[in-house]
Amino acid sequence: MKGTYTTIPNDYNLLEEVGYGVSATVNKAIYLPNNHVVAIKSLDLERVNRNLIFRIEVDMELEIWAI
């Protein structure tokens, strides 16, 4: 289920890690304004190559999915 969420870090309570890859970690979180459980993907920009960082900066879009 896709919803409308903010990009304000204090609106989220990060919980346990639910997945990871070479350059990112996914955490379960609570979106505090409506108490929805969501997944937050965090990129480790030190591990991402320069071309991908450029694409992320150009195409950046925040996607938060209720789970």
The binding site for ATP consists of: 41
| Torsion sign across C-alpha atoms 1, 19, 12, 54 | negative
Distance CA 67, CA 58 (A): 27
Question: Residues within the annotated binding site?
Answer: 41
Question: Which residues make beta-bridge pairs with 19?
Answer: 26
